[in-house]
Amino acid sequence: MEQRDAKFIDIHQAEMVFNTRKGQFHALRDINLTVRKGEFVTLIGHSGCGKSTLLNLIAGLLMPSDGVLICAGREIAGPSPERAVVFQNHSLLPWLTCHENIYLGVERVFATTENKSALKERTKAALAMVGLSAAGQKRPHEISGGMKQRVGIARALAMEPKVLLMDEPFGALDALTRAHLQDELLKIVAKTGSTVVMVTHDVDEAVLLSDRIVMMTNGPAASIGDIVQVRLSRPRERVALAQDALYAEYRTSVLEFLYRKQAHPAAQAA
Ligand SMILES: Nc1ncnc2c1ncn2[C@@H]1O[C@H](COP(=O)(O)OP(=O)(O)OP(=O)(O)O)[C@@H](O)[C@H]1O
């Protein structure tokens, strides 16, 4: 069991080549990565290096040109509610209420085994988990950007996915809302024990949330340059961590990778 959980997600020699009008574009090369059950892994790297492409491969939204991706012992052959994705722009259906948006996901997973009132309870519990019980009957245009992201997270979690995949979920939010949602995500993940793979540009976000930070080299043919193991105890508290020497060390390691070892091509040219 432990052996299997040690490789809950197993990416072996993955390659991604896109066919474009100008010919083939080799986006990802030689990607090898395993993620343990319950682990929180972030993918960080400069813009265009292939973070979203790697996340989309795990989501099953893209198929690798070569190599194998396995989740919970099965090859990833397409999208599945067991790998729920939260995107940067919430992707809620505008004509449905927050409750209905979440219900749709819940129905997709549990309708064959549970009755309607159980599905409604699940939906309510998910809204409560992100502190939005009062907003259930509102439509997306009636709530703030931060609230929309919380509904998106609630929808994903309500499906009880084996893996939560997040593509810069807080990227479009102001700094304070982002910090608040990061704290909320920490609490939710502590409660649910979810396995999370998250794309971010934000070094502090990566250190605060992660068990491991996967740092990607610049593309084309990007690969994994290095991995930082974040050994900060949980629960983590941002204000206390601001004074923590180990936190500063991890932060520096990631910054060094990004701005010394992998200085962005545009910055090198400048
Ligand atoms: N469908 C596609 N067809 C062709 N090229 C693509 C396609 N999707 C992505 N790419 C290219 O692959 C590379 C990686 O893109 P990707 O979106 O994964 O990067 P990223 O690291 O997530 O970027 P950002 O941080 O800016 O979101 C880029 O050069 C991009 O132009």
Each residue's pLDDT tens digit, 127-165: 998 889 999 999 999 999 989 999 999 999 899 898 999
The answer to whether position 214 is within a domain reads no
pLDDT of residue 43: 98
- The more confidently predicted of residues 184 and 14 is 14
The answer to whether position 150 is within a domain reads yes
pLDDT exceeds cutoff 90 at 2: no
The answer to whether position 122 is within a domain reads yes
pLDDT of residue 5: 67
What is d(CA 14, CA 114) in angstroms, rounded to the nearest whole number? Answer: 38
Q: Count CB atoms within 10 A of the CB of residue 216.
A: 24
Report the pocket of ligand 1 as residue ranges, CB < 6 Å: 18, 20, 25, 27, 45, 47-53, 219
Residue 32: how many CA atoms within 13 Å on its side-chain side?
3
pLDDT of residue 67: 98
pLDDT of residue 270: 42
The answer to whether position 136 is within a domain reads yes
The answer to whether position 244 is within a domain reads no
- Cβ neighbours for 135, distance < 8 A, ≥ 6 positions apart: 98, 127, 143, 147, 151
Residue having the nearest C-alpha atom to atom 4 of ligand 1: 18
CB 232 within 8 A of CB 241: yes
Distance (Å) from CA 220 to ligand 1 centroid:
10
pLDDT exceeds cutoff 70 at 206: yes
pLDDT of residue 265: 62
Q: Ligand 1 pocket check: which of 15, 16, 17, 18 to mutate, most ligand atoms within 8 Å of Cβ? A: 18
Residue having the nearest C-alpha atom to atom 30 of ligand 1: 48
Distance (Å) from CA 200 to ligand 1 centroid:
14
What is d(CA 149, CA 179) in angstroms, rounded to the nearest whole number? Answer: 13
The answer to whether position 140 is within a domain reads yes
Name beta bridge partners: 24: 19
CB 128 within 8 A of CB 112: no
pLDDT of residue 7: 87
pLDDT of residue 269: 46
The answer to whether position 146 is within a domain reads yes
pLDDT of residue 191: 85
Residue 127, domain extent:
92-160
Closest CA to 166 of 64, 92, 55, 70: 55
Overall domain count for the chain? 1
pLDDT exceeds cutoff 80 at 217: yes
pLDDT of residue 87: 87
Q: What is the pLDDT of residues 60-112, one digit of tens each?
A: 999 999 999 999 999 999 999 899 999 887 789 999 999 999 999 999 999 99
pLDDT exceeds cutoff 70 at 170: yes
The answer to whether position 111 is within a domain reads yes
pLDDT of residue 267: 54
Distance (Å) from CA 189 to ligand 1 centroid:
28
Chain length of the chain:
270
- Cβ neighbours for 196, distance < 8 A, ≥ 6 positions apart: 39, 40, 41, 163, 164, 165, 166, 189, 209
Phi, psi angles (nearest 5°) of residue 225: -85, -45
Model confidence band, residue 214 (pLDDT cutoffs 50, 70, 90) = very high
